Structure formats: C-alpha cells, structure tokens
Amino acid sequence: MSQKEIIYLSFGSFSNHISTHFWNQQQSYFTYDQSDLPSGSTSRDVEHTSSQDEEPLIDHDVSFQAGQTLTGQDTYNPRAILFETEQEFGALAKLNALYDSFPADSDGRSVALDSLQSWGSEAQVIATERVRPSRYQRRLELEDQGLDPESSDDDDDGQDDDVQKTASIGDGPSLPKQRRSKRSYRFWSDYSRTFFHSKSLVSVGGQLTAPMPGSYNAAHSPSNSDGRTRFETFSQGVAQFDQLESQHEVLDTNIRWFAEDADLLQGFHYTIDTSDAFGGLGCKYLENLVDEFPKLSHLVFGAGWGNTTYVPEDAGDSASWENRLARIRRINNLQSLTQMMEFSTVAAPLCIPDWQGDGQVGANWRRYLGRIDLSDMHHAAALVSPHLETATLGTRLKSRSETLSSLTARLNWRRDTKLVHLGGALPVAYPAPLSSSSIAGSMDPVDALLKSYGYGDSDSRARQRGAPLESESDLSARGAKHLLSTWIDLSLPTHLSGGEKRRKQLLQHLSRPYSHTAVLRNSNLDQARLGLGMLDSILSQINPPFGQGVYIPQSYNVLSSYPNFFTLLDKHSNPLTEATTQSSRKVARPKHLPVLSSLSATPSSVYLFKEARDTVNEVLNGHLPMIAYGLDGEDARDGLKEIRENIEGWIDAYSVGEEDEEEENGMGTDEEYDVDQKEEDGLDWDL
C-alpha cells in the first residue's frame, strides 16, 4: 500500500497568504455538478472540459479529509493547521459556516451571557469590533445564492497602463517602475475560498500580540503599537510554543487528530515565516514532530518577508526603526535556517526578489510579471505559491509514482544537500516554428519567380521535400533558451548582485545541479511534445535518478482570487516570445496558464550561506549589544560561533570550482574563530 496523506502546517501571515493561494488551487481541482457547488467554489472560475465520468488527475484524499458537519452534511476539509496572530484571522470565524453550532438567526447569542441571567443583573460586555467580510467574500456569498455579484474579477487599481521607464540596470534594457497596487485584501482570509475545520485554526499570542510590518494589523512604528507586544524575535516564538502546549496541547489536540485520521501518511509539509517570531514557533513544532514521526518526510519552506538591508541613519526619523527591524529579521532568518538544516528532511528558503535587482537566473524574469507589486503579500505570495504547488504536484496525483519520501530522497541523495532551491517560469512561453518570413525580410528572387508560376513558396517546397526549416531539437533548444531567460530562483538572496557575470554563473549552476526535479504542467496536449523537448534540453546535463522531468496535463488555474499581474499575453492568453518592449500594460485575465517549477540542490546555495555567515560576523565583530539583534542569554555568543562552524561546513559541501577559492571573509582554522573578542582590548561588546 503506497503512502497517501500529507499534513500541511503554516506559520505566520506571509506563509498563510502562500497557503491560501495553495488551498484555493486545490479547491479548484474538484469537479462538481452545477447543482452541487459548495460555498467558495464557482463554475465560472474553472472550465471543466472533461466529462464527469473521466478519472480526475488529482487525488483529493491526499490533502483533504472527508467528514461531516455538526448537522450531518458531508464535507471535505484541508488536512492543514494554520498558526496566526489573533487579529490577522480577519473575518474568518473560529467556527465557520460548516461547523457553526448555532442557527443563522442567533448572531450575537452567547452561552456565557445566557448563564448570567440567573444572577438577576446585566453583564457588561467589553468586546472588540467584529471584522467585516471582504468585498470578495460577499461576492462569493452572492454567487452561492445564484445572484449576479455585479463586479469584475479584475482589481480596480486605478493604475496608469502606460509604460513607465527608469534608468537602465547595468548594460541591460530600461525597466518599468515597479507597480504599487491598491491593497485589495486586508487579510489572507479575505480571499480564501476554502472552509477549514475548527482544529485547523490556531490563534497565537492573544489580543495584545501585534504582527510584524507587512501584515494588516502591524504596528509600523513604536508610537502606534497601542500597547501591544510585537511578535518579532525567534526566542519569542520558542516561548510561545511552550505556552501553546501548556494551555492548548496543540500537538495532541490538533496535529495528532489529523495524523490519526490518515491511513498511511506521506509526511509533513511546512511553510514557516522565518523573519519573525513564527520562525521560532515553527521550528519548535518541526523539532517535536521529527522526534514524534522520525520515519516520515518533513519538507520545509522557509518564507522570508521584509527588508533586511540597512538604510542611512540620516534618511529620516524612521531610519533607526527600520534598521532595528532589519537586524532582527536577519538574525531570525539565520536561526531559522540553522534549525531547518538540522531537523528537516529537505528545506527550501523562499526570498522575494528585488524588482531592480540584477542577480537572478533569467535576465527577463520580469517579462510577464509587469504589473506585480512585490511589496504586497497578496501579490508576492501569488508569485511563490504556483511554483510551490507545481513542484510538489506529483505527490498529489491519483496515479502517482512520487511521494514526499522519494522526492526528498532524490533531492538529498548525497545526504549533505538538505537545502534546495525553488524556481521556475510563470507562465511558460512556447516558441512558434520558424518560417521563411521570420528568417528573411525580403523574398528570394528565385522564390518570387517560382511563386508567380504557382509553385508555392520555399516553406511549402521544403515541407514537400520532407525537410523542415527547423528541427524539433532546434525548436526545443530555442524554447529552452527563452524559458531560462524568464527563469526566477525564489531561493536566492534578495539583494544578490553581480550583473551578467553572476547570471552566467547561476545558469551554469542550474544546468549542472547535484539533483533536480522539474514539473511542467499544461492542459494543451498539442504542446506536450515541444514542452517535453524543452524540459529535456534544460535537464540534459544531469541524468536519472538524480534529475527527473515530469509533464502533467493540468494547467494552473488563474482564479478570481488570484491577482492579474500578467503582461505581454496575446488575446488567447499565450505569452509573447518575440522581442518587444517591457510593458506594464494590463491584459485580460487568463483562465489558466502553463507553469514550469523545479526543486534543485545547486551550488548557488553558497550565496545564501555566505549571507548567513556575514550576519554572524556582523553580530560577533560589531559594537552593538546582543539585545539589539533580539538575542538574549549568556550563551548567545557561543551559540553563534557554533552556527558559524556549521555554515562553513555547508559552504564546503555546496562549493564547486571557483567557489573553492580562499576568500577574505572565510575562516580557515579553529584558532581563527577566537579572534572575535580579545581580552586586552578592554571592551565588552555585550554591555
């Protein structure tokens, strides 16, 4: 009997945004009769061209569990546990419509208040104002009732569609300014299309806990914190784990409840915010679940959010505040990375790229994303989630030969490459075959003469002779080249620089990884042969079983909850491949798109480890006290030295060729680690 179920855990606002897009996509794979559409699922979002009798590609039992509501209604709920600060759940009820204990006309009724009537006096109620449902959720309610929502799927952002140019980067073409969208959604629950079981929602910290900046209810400066404690440091998350387990026993009450419902678990899938206190909370649950389920696979995605670079102190009143948050985020990312490398089976860090950055695999990675706002969690998560969902899609297929165990074993076959990169192309552009008109601007005189006598052009004569203008392998190679030009690596450091030289190095690492699993998805079977050829061309330098390419005839559904940030699509929503000016002009929302996503163990991980090493050296060699980085405890310095030794080992494991050269920041011998603080200098950095 093959392994089947996967339990998904998500920690923090950004991770929950990613998970919301993920679960909306899983919901769209269900095929319903028109009369049997559940709330949050509308037939207009997804066109099901296959017959109802056709076997579905996706095995819903992997990610969903069957059950019944309190009224006996059959339902499917995600096998998921979402951890979030209380105020960031938004209008999502703790007991949603499927599990509401009270009838619909009893809004405001309270069992506690009813019990106080026997005292003969009125109770004074002090409560926060209820969060109103979003416009999108109200539209879904109208659709469920069969009414016209009278609203367009596209966001009315009021942005100018004209192309806006900025200065060119390096020797490359000029870029349009990064778009700033009107924030359409306050919380991830505002566009969630899935009903969660009550055991799936875990509130962290209570009303007096504030999330980090980027979330809707975050305190963006010390002056407007309203007395709330910001959930910001790794150690806070570790302490919150102890509090949750002592008060609510989440491991036994929530997680074990899902595990016992499964027949044969594949493993656990984690998405953890690493830049705030949720990094500490998520890593503690990872540590305990690895101890509880040591034979299962634990696939971890560590999602970083927020600025980690310093601004000049004279940049404004908020400069010191921004620099403090940057220091805390850097050390949180470092501690989370260390814990993920120790306890996970395979871990993939997630970093939102810098729009103006030049350190990406593809020089044209922005080509089809011209209207994206990378400062908005809704948009940024919509960039990450399709790749995360596609790269792991093989573990959820009905006729699957892939499981979390086989996937992680292939990626970490050397046993020292736990860290992998998530990347790919969204959308995938397929090149058109060459024709004589695309090769030459003017007709050959002989062709013109023959055509005047009715013999046709050179294309038709070449086809009659059985000699195509371009072979299949040449067409696939050209398509793969264009694909790599739009490739984005979501695990590279955000501010990696280096220009064209760095890009060539990244491309070489991608073409010669230690291991690579790529998934190409497209419902258009007419393009399957070309797509497989492009996939083979990309994976040509690595052989099975270390490299694997999979084609799945299921495109990514672009739902109404998904932001329409795409550009350079034709009227049929196909990406344009011919040379054209980078544009931010709005296009019609596509219904579905082909996507290529991959997980790979690559030498490019060295850049991430070097960034982590720089963070350690900054803390140990700098003049700021440990508390400025959110570190406490007398053994913090010794712990950082141990982390640095581990980082040096990881750099050695991933380095190849030019990466083996001695660097000025590198440490060679154990004695060199003792130069951080000299006794004779008379300074105590921890004061």
Separation in Å, CA 98 to CA 6, 33, 102, 197, 638: 22, 20, 11, 8, 51
Find residue 189's DSSP bridge partners. Answer: none
Mean pLDDT, rounded, for 630-642: 89
Mean pLDDT is lowest, of 67-81, 525-539, 600-614, for 67-81
Between residues 635 and 24, the one the model is more confident about: 24
Residue 39: is its pLDDT beyond 90? no
Dihedral-angle region of residue 42 (phi above 0 means left; psi in -120 to 50 means alpha; beta otherwise): beta
* pLDDT tens digits, one per residue of 201-215: 999 988 778 888 888
Q: How many CB atoms are closer than 10 A to CB 500?
A: 12
Share of the chain above pLDDT 70, in %: 73
The b-or-e profile of 322-334 (16+ CB within 10 A means b, else e) is bbbbbbbbbbbbb
Domain range summary for the chain, segments of one domain joined by +: 424-435+447-601, 605-681
Contact 198, 30 (CB under 8 A): no
- Angle (CA) 604-605-610 rounded to 5° is 105
Query: Which sign does the torsion angle of CA 494, 495, 500, 501 carry?
Result: negative
Query: Which sign does the torsion angle of CA 252, 257, 259, 260 carry?
Result: positive
Find residue 349's DSSP bridge partners. Answer: 302
The token duo for 353 is 């790229």
Residue 3 — very low, low, confident or very high, per pLDDT cuts 50/70/90? Answer: confident
Contact 485, 516 (CB under 8 A): no
Contact 230, 224 (CB under 8 A): no
Residue 477: is its pLDDT beyond 50? yes
Contact 196, 96 (CB under 8 A): yes
Integer Cα distance of 345 and 406 in angstroms:
11
* pLDDT tens digits, one per residue of 69-91: 666 677 889 999 999 998 899 87
Residue 241: is its pLDDT beyond 80? yes
Residue 384 — very low, low, confident or very high, per pLDDT cuts 50/70/90? Answer: very high
Residue for token digits 């009813």?
114
SS3 at position 519? strand
Integer Cα distance of 176 and 367 in angstroms:
10
Residue 675 — very low, low, confident or very high, per pLDDT cuts 50/70/90? Answer: very low
Mean pLDDT is lowest, of 156-165, 181-190, 523-532, for 156-165
Question: Which range has the top average pLDDT, 35-49, 374-388, 427-441?
Answer: 374-388
Integer Cα distance of 40 and 65 in angstroms:
17
Integer Cα distance of 66 and 606 in angstroms:
44
Residue 596: is its pLDDT beyond 90? yes
Residue 465 — very low, low, confident or very high, per pLDDT cuts 50/70/90? Answer: low
Residue 617 — very low, low, confident or very high, per pLDDT cuts 50/70/90? Answer: very high
Mean pLDDT, rounded, for 615-619: 96
Q: What is the pLDDT of residue 359?
A: 87
Integer Cα distance of 80 and 23 in angstroms:
10
Q: What is the pLDDT of residue 98?
A: 59
Residue 467: is its pLDDT beyond 90? no
Between residues 443 and 441, the one the model is more confident about: 443
Q: What is the pLDDT of residue 168?
A: 40
Q: Distance between terminal CA atoms of the chain?
A: 60
Q: What is the pLDDT of residue 43?
A: 41
The token duo for 32 is 């319903």
SS3 at position 562? coil
Q: What is the pLDDT of residue 171?
A: 42
The b-or-e profile of 591-628 (16+ CB within 10 A means b, else e) is ebbbbbbbbbbbbbbbbbbbbbbebbeebbeeeeebee
Mean pLDDT is lowest, of 21-25, 77-81, 461-465, for 461-465
Residue for token digits 């969060």?
131
Residue 594: is its pLDDT beyond 70? yes
SS3 at position 383? helix
Integer Cα distance of 195 and 109 in angstroms:
22
- My answer on whether omega of the bond before 176 falls inside 30° of 0, hence cis, is no
**Closest of 458, 431, 434, 436 to residue 447, by C-alpha:** 458
The H-or-E segment that residue 538 falls in is helix 528-538
Strand 421-425 with 346-350, pairing: unpaired
Residue 642: is its pLDDT beyond 80? yes
Contacts of 59 (CB under 8 A, 6+ apart): 4, 396, 397, 398, 400
Integer Cα distance of 303 and 21 in angstroms:
15
Mean pLDDT, rounded, for 586-601: 95
Residue 577: is its pLDDT beyond 70? yes
Find residue 78's DSSP bridge partners. Answer: 64
- Angle (CA) 231-629-274 rounded to 5° is 50
Residue 380: is its pLDDT beyond 50? yes
What mean pLDDT value characterizes the chain? Answer: 82
Residue 51: is its pLDDT beyond 50? no
Q: What is the pLDDT of residue 148?
A: 54
Integer Cα distance of 404 and 410 in angstroms:
10
Share of the chain above pLDDT 90, in %: 57
Contact 480, 425 (CB under 8 A): no
Integer Cα distance of 650 and 341 in angstroms:
10
The token duo for 267 is 């493993």
Mean pLDDT is lowest, of 112-126, 274-288, 337-351, 420-434, for 112-126
Between residues 184 and 244, the one the model is more confident about: 244
Residue 229 — very low, low, confident or very high, per pLDDT cuts 50/70/90? Answer: confident
Contacts of 433 (CB under 8 A, 6+ apart): 468, 469, 470, 475
- The stretches of 124-195 forming alpha helices (DSSP H) are 135-144
Query: Which sign does the torsion angle of CA 618, 622, 625, 628 carry?
Result: negative
Strand 421-425 with 595-601, pairing: antiparallel
Integer Cα distance of 422 and 69 in angstroms:
37
Mean pLDDT is lowest, of 135-139, 264-268, 423-427, 548-552, for 135-139
Integer Cα distance of 381 and 562 in angstroms:
10
Mean pLDDT is lowest, of 391-395, 452-456, 545-549, 671-675, for 671-675
Residue 44: is its pLDDT beyond 70? no
- Angle (CA) 265-269-273 rounded to 5° is 155
Strand 74-78 with 64-68, pairing: antiparallel
Integer Cα distance of 439 and 449 in angstroms:
19
Mean pLDDT is lowest, of 105-109, 375-379, 493-497, 579-583, for 105-109
**Closest of 482, 498, 584 to residue 530, by C-alpha:** 482
Find residue 81's DSSP bridge partners. Answer: 9
Residue 156: is its pLDDT beyond 60? no
Mean pLDDT is lowest, of 55-59, 437-441, 595-599, for 437-441
The token duo for 15 is 């991770």
Residue 62: is its pLDDT beyond 90? yes
Integer Cα distance of 571 and 552 in angstroms:
25
Reported pTM: 0.86
Residue 377: is its pLDDT beyond 50? yes
Residue 536: is its pLDDT beyond 90? yes
SS3 at position 476? helix
Mean pLDDT is lowest, of 198-207, 460-469, 488-497, 513-522, for 460-469
Separation in Å, CA 510 to CA 369, 487, 499, 606: 22, 10, 17, 13
Contact 256, 262 (CB under 8 A): no
Integer Cα distance of 333 and 273 in angstroms:
9
DSSP classification of residue 253 = I
The token duo for 497 is 């620089």
Mean pLDDT, rounded, for 107-136: 58
